[in-house]
């Protein structure tokens, strides 16, 4: 089986299609995190940048603005549906961006970048040390890497609260492997440092970011999103309509404490990670 085959199948199925439909909402959800990781990575005018897990291209477009016409940006992702939207958005914006449908853990990078960047695109590798060793080959000797990843589920109420609310209505599940590929695989900052160091990076730094996920102005809309995107949607993959009907009000009640004047905003706990090549 191809490395990361499960993730390739997942992001080329309903998950990728849902993200395309929800792209505008997802950009709103992550606005605070988006701004923080771009400031942390600091892409500069004239730089060459590779965006790993670029998805629908929001970060790639922002990086293209930062590096200007003298720079070059390449987006890499395994999801054909999301890359299709990314290409459309780049064309509409008049941006000369290369998009590559590939698994970054194995892709033979030929262009050497000043910066490898990722917003939540590096937690899904079957073998993180091997994947980051390959990503290291995408950098110039003077280059750097910067990415953002989630901390523990408990520090991310946007995902944890709906999952806990739904659990009584779902079949018993074995405890998740905290190191398995998935959104919370890099919750341990010491693991991040170890993986990057083993992959050949140096001067590794990991900083805490406390933010929110803005799930929009409507509580019912927030419930819809959590039931079609993210960890809960995976758990509901085999759920029938009757089960979903029971879960929906429980998820609504779990998200209600996070309603604010600016929208439904559960906490989001992240790590900003960086290192030199």
> Which tops the pLDDT comparison, 1 or 29?
29
Whether the pLDDT of residue 277 is over 90: the answer is: yes
| pLDDT interval class at 73 (50, 70, 90) | very high
| pLDDT interval class at 21 (50, 70, 90) | confident
Sign of CA dihedral 12, 179, 165, 25: negative
Whether the pLDDT of residue 53 is over 50: the answer is: yes
Cα–Cα dist 111/75, whole Å: 12
- Buried b / exposed e over 68-77, threshold 16 CB at 10 Å, is eeebbbbbbb
DSSP at 173: -
Distance in Å from the first CA to the final CA of the chain: 30
Give residue 237's pLDDT. Answer: 83
Angle 35-20-23 from CA coordinates, rounded to 5°:
30
Cα–Cα dist 192/120, whole Å: 13
Cα–Cα dist 163/148, whole Å: 22
Whether the pLDDT of residue 228 is over 60: the answer is: yes
The closest of 90, 19, 12 to 51, measured between CA atoms, is 90
Q: State whether residue 269 is helix, strand or coil.
A: strand
Give residue 86's pLDDT. Answer: 96
Give residue 75's pLDDT. Answer: 98
pTM: 0.93
Give residue 173's pLDDT. Answer: 80
| pLDDT interval class at 1 (50, 70, 90) | very low
Element (H, E) at 255: helix 241-255
Length of the chain: 277
| pLDDT interval class at 17 (50, 70, 90) | confident
Cα–Cα dist 107/97, whole Å: 18
Percent of the chain with pLDDT over 70: 97
| pLDDT interval class at 201 (50, 70, 90) | very high
Q: What average pLDDT does the segment 4-21 reach?
A: 76
State the average pLDDT for the chain.
94
Tell me the C-alpha to C-alpha distance, in Å, between residue 151 and each of 31, 189, 259, 263: 18, 8, 22, 23
Residue 100: CB atoms within 10 Å: 15
Give residue 9's pLDDT. Answer: 81
Q: Which two tokens stand for residue 217?
A: 């102005």
Give residue 174's pLDDT. Answer: 82
Give residue 40's pLDDT. Answer: 98
- Give the helix ranges, DSSP H, for 68-198: 80-93, 128-136, 157-166, 189-198
What is the DSSP code string of 117-160?
EEES-SS--SSHHHHHHHHHTTEEEEEEEEEEEE--GGG-HHHH
Whether the pLDDT of residue 10 is over 90: the answer is: no
| pLDDT interval class at 3 (50, 70, 90) | low
Instruction: Give pLDDT tens digits for 147-173.
Output: 999 999 999 999 999 999 999 999 888
């Amino acid at each position: 089986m191809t490395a990361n085959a499960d993730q390739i199948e997942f992001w080329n199925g309903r998950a990728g299609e849902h993200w395309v439909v929800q792209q505008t909402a997802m950009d709103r959800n992550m606005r605070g995190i988006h701004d923080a990781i771009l400031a942390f990575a600091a892409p500069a005018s004239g730089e060459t940048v590779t965006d790993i897990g670029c998805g629908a291209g929001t970060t790639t477009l922002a990086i293209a603005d930062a590096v200007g016409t003298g720079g070059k940006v390449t987006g890499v992702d395994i999801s054909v549906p999301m890359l299709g939207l990314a290409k459309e958005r780049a064309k509409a914006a008049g941006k000369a961006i290369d998009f590559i449908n590939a698994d970054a853990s194995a892709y033979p990078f030929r262009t050497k970048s000043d910066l490898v960047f990722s917003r939540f695109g590096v937690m899904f590798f079957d073998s993180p040390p091997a994947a980051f060793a390959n990503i290291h080959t995408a950098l110039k000797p003077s280059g750097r890497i910067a990415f953002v990843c989630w901390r523990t589920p408990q520090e991310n109420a946007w995902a944890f609260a709906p999952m806990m609310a739904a659990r009584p209505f779902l079949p018993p599940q074995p405890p998740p492997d905290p190191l398995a590929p998935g959104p919370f695989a890099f919750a341990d900052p010491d693991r991040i440092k170890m993986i990057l160091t083993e992959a050949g990076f140096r001067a590794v730094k990991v900083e805490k970011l406390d933010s929110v996920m803005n799930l929009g102005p409507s509580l019912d809309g927030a419930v819809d999103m959590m039931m079609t995107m993210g960890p809960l949607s995976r758990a509901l993959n085999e759920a029938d309509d009757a089960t979903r009907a029971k879960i929906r009000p429980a998820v609504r009640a779990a998200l209600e404490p996070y309603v604010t004047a600016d929208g439904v905003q559960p906490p989001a706990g992240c790590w900003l990670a960086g290192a030199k090549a």
